[in-house]
Amino acid sequence: MWHLYHFPLCPFSRKVQLALAEKKVPFALQLAYPWDNDDLFHSLNPAGKTPVMRHAERGLTLADSQAICEYFEEVEQRAPLLPGSAQARAEIRRLVAMFDDALYTDVTAPLMHEKMKKRLFLRQSPDSQVLRRATRLLHDHLDYIDWLIDNNRWLGGAQLSLADFAAAAQLSVIDYLDSLDWSGHDSARGWYRVIKSRPSFAPLLSQRMEGLPPPRHYSDVNA
Amino acid sequence: MWHLYHFPLCPFSRKVQLALAEKKVPFALQLAYPWDNDDLFHSLNPAGKTPVMRHAERGLTLADSQAICEYFEEVEQRAPLLPGSAQARAEIRRLVAMFDDALYTDVTAPLMHEKMKKRLFLRQSPDSQVLRRATRLLHDHLDYIDWLIDNNRWLGGAQLSLADFAAAAQLSVIDYLDSLDWSGHDSARGWYRVIKSRPSFAPLLSQRMEGLPPPRHYSDVNA
C-alpha cells in the first residue's frame, strides 16, 4: 500500500493527491509537517519537503511532487496526465513548472507564511503589504489562466492534464486561506469550478489544517 | 536549427547545454538576459526565465529546463539522461529537483546576486553574511554529494544521468564565482573532475559573462 506523507495545506501534496485519484491509485494519507524536523521523515526525503510516497512492502520511496507524478504516469497508463506528442507534453510540463514555481513563490508561499505559519506557530498578525503584493501577483497569474482557457479547452491544450491539477492545487490552498479573488476572471473561475467538481477533488475539500478552518464557501463545489 | 536562449551564468541553461551536447543535438546559442524585460523573449516564455529553446522553422518553443530535458529525452534516445526502471528514473528526477531547487536557492542564487548582479548592475559590494551562509549551505550539499558518490558510481545510481549534469551545472556557476570550496569533499571533487573533463562540458569552460571574468583555475580541467 502506498502512503502519501503530506500536510493538508501543502499544494504539492495536493497536486499528487489529484494525480493519484485521477489514476485510481489507492493510497493512505500520513501526516508529516516538514517544519517538525522529524528524523524519520528526513531519512525518507533529505530535502525535508512534502510530498513523499512510501511503499514499505516494496521498499520504494519517491520524493518531489513532479518525480512522483512522472513515476505514476510511467507505471499507470490510466488517465494520462501528460497526454499527446512530445511537444504537447513539453507544453504541459512548462505550465506545471510555472504553477509549481512562480504561482507558488509569488502567491501561495507568502500567503501560507502570513496566514498559516504566523497564525499557528508564530502568533503574529499577517503583514498587509505582503498580502497586497500576493493579491496583485495572483491577478497576473489568473490573467494568464484566463488567456489559456480562452484559447484552449484546458490549460495545457485540448485535453485535461497535469497542468490543470498543478494550477488547481495551488489555487485550492489560496482559496482555503480565503484569498482567491475571482473578480475579472470569469474564464479562470469557470475552469476552476469544473476541476473542483471532479471526484478526485472531493478529498481536498474535506481535509482541514488543525486550528485553521477554511471559509465557508471553500467546500461548496458551486461556489 | 534549435536556438538556446541563455546567459553564460544561468545554471539551468548550463544543464540544458550539457544534456544537448551529450545527446549530440546541434544548437546555436542566443544571448538573453531575463532582467532586460525584452518583449520578444517574454513572448517566448511568459515566466521570463532562461533557458528557452526555439526551433523557428518547425515553429517549436520549449521553456523550463526540466521540460526541455524531458522533451529531448523523449525524441532523442541517444545518451539517455534518465536511464533505467521507472523507480530509477524517479530517483534521478528527485535528485535533479533537489539540485535545481535547493542547491540553487541555498547557494547558487545568493552567490549570483552577491557576486554577479551587485557587481555588474547594482555597483554594490557583496554582503559577507550572505556569502558565509551560502558557503555553509554549500558544504551541506557537498556532504550529500560525497555520500551519493560513496554509495554509487554516479549521483543517480550505476549510470551517468541528468542528476550528474544538474548538480554539475550549479557547481560550475559556483566555481565561476570563485566560491567552490572542496576542502573535506574528496569524493565530490573526484566526481566533478570527471564530469568537467567530458567533451560536453568544454563549451561551459569557455563561455564568459561580460565584465565578470572567472578565476584562473575555472577553465583548467585538472583543477
Cβ-defined contact of A71 to B64 (cutoff 8 Å):
no
Nearest-CB residue to A97 (from B66, B89, B144): B66
Predicted TM-score (pTM) of the model is: 0.97
Nearest-CA residue of chain B relative to A74? B86
What average pLDDT is seen over chain B?
96
- Give dist(CA A142, CA A181) in Å, integer: 9
Cβ-defined contact of A64 to B93 (cutoff 8 Å):
yes
Partner B contacted by A140 (CB < 8 A) = no
**Which neighbouring-strand residues pair with A52?**
A5, A63
- pLDDT score of A221: 85
Nearest-CA residue of chain A relative to B65? A94
Shared-domain flag, residues B115 and B62: no
- Give dist(CA A139, CA A178) in Å, integer: 15
Output DSSP code: residue A214: P
Domains in chain B, number: 2
Shared-domain flag, residues A100 and A119: yes
- pLDDT score of B223: 74
Specify the amino acid at residue A66.
Q
- pLDDT score of A216: 95
Residue A222 banded pLDDT, cuts 50, 70, 90: confident
CA B8 to chain centre: 10
Partner B contacted by A64 (CB < 8 A) = yes
Judged against a pLDDT cut of 80, whether residue A176 lies above it is answered with: yes
- pLDDT score of B222: 81
| End position of a domain, from candidates A75, A110, A133 | A75
How much is the average pLDDT of B63-87? 98
Q: Is residue A80 part of a domain?
A: no
Task: List Cβ<8 Å contacts ≥24 apart for B119-126.
Answer: B119/B211, B119/B212, B120/B209, B120/B211, B120/B212, B121/B35
Specify the amino acid at residue B5.
Y
Cβ-defined contact of B93 to A67 (cutoff 8 Å):
yes
How much is the average pLDDT of B189-199? 97
Judged against a pLDDT cut of 90, whether residue B52 lies above it is answered with: yes
Q: Is residue A144 part of a domain?
A: yes
Place of cell 504537447: A88
Read off the pLDDT of residues B3-37 as tens digits, 9 standing for 90 and up: 999 999 999 999 999 999 999 999 999 999 999 88
Secondary structure class of B189 (helix, strand, coil): helix
- pLDDT score of B22: 98
Residue B40 banded pLDDT, cuts 50, 70, 90: confident
Shared-domain flag, residues B61 and B126: no
Judged against a pLDDT cut of 90, whether residue A135 lies above it is answered with: yes
Shared-domain flag, residues B117 and B161: yes
Partner B contacted by A70 (CB < 8 A) = yes
Residue A184: which CATH number?
1.20.1050.10
Q: Is residue A92 part of a domain?
A: yes
Size of interface A-B (CB pairs under 8 A): 71
Nearest-CB residue to B66 (from A60, A86, A93): A93
- pLDDT score of B207: 96
| End position of a domain, from candidates A56, A75, A94 | A75
Shared-domain flag, residues A141 and A64: no
- Please report the ipTM that was assigned to this predicted complex: 0.96
Partner B contacted by A192 (CB < 8 A) = no
- pLDDT score of B9: 98
How much is the average pLDDT of B56-84? 97
**Which ranges in A99-127 belong to alpha helices (H)?**
109-111
Nearest-CA residue of chain B relative to A73? B86
Shared-domain flag, residues B211 and B121: yes
Range of the domain at A15: 2-75
Angle formed at CA A83 by CA A81 and CA A87, multiple of 5 degrees: 120
What average pLDDT is seen over chain A?
96
How much is the average pLDDT of A6-28? 98
Q: Positive or negative, the Cα torsion across B39, B45, B50, B51? A: negative
Judged against a pLDDT cut of 90, whether residue A31 lies above it is answered with: yes
Q: Is residue A81 part of a domain?
A: no
Q: Is residue B175 part of a domain?
A: yes
Read off the pLDDT of residues B107-130 as tens digits, 9 standing for 90 and up: 999 999 999 999 999 999 999 999
Shared-domain flag, residues A67 and A111: no
Shared-domain flag, residues B92 and B157: yes
Q: Do the bridges between strand A60-63 and strand A52-55 make them parallel or antiparallel, or are there none, so unpaired?
A: antiparallel
Cell of B203: 563549451
Residue B14: which CATH number?
3.40.30.10
Shared-domain flag, residues A111 and A165: yes
Nearest-CA residue of chain A relative to B74? A86
**Contact call for residues B62 and B130 (beta carbons, < 8 A):** no
Shared-domain flag, residues B70 and B132: no
Nearest-CA residue of chain A relative to B92? A67
Best to test chain B binding among A58, A69, A71 (most B CBs inside 10 Å): A71
- pLDDT score of A190: 97
Q: Is the peptide bond before B51 cis (omega within 30 degrees of 0)?
A: yes
Residues of chain B neighbouring A45 (CB-CB closer than 8 A)? 94
Partner B contacted by A132 (CB < 8 A) = no
Best to test chain A binding among B58, B64, B75, B82 (most A CBs inside 10 Å): B64
Cell of A157: 491544450
- Give dist(CA A97, CA B47) in Å, integer: 10
| End position of a domain, from candidates A26, A43, A75 | A75
- pLDDT score of B221: 85
Shared-domain flag, residues A71 and A138: no
Shared-domain flag, residues A134 and A190: yes
Read off the pLDDT of residues A32-67 as tens digits, 9 standing for 90 and up: 999 988 888 989 999 999 999 999 999 999 999 999
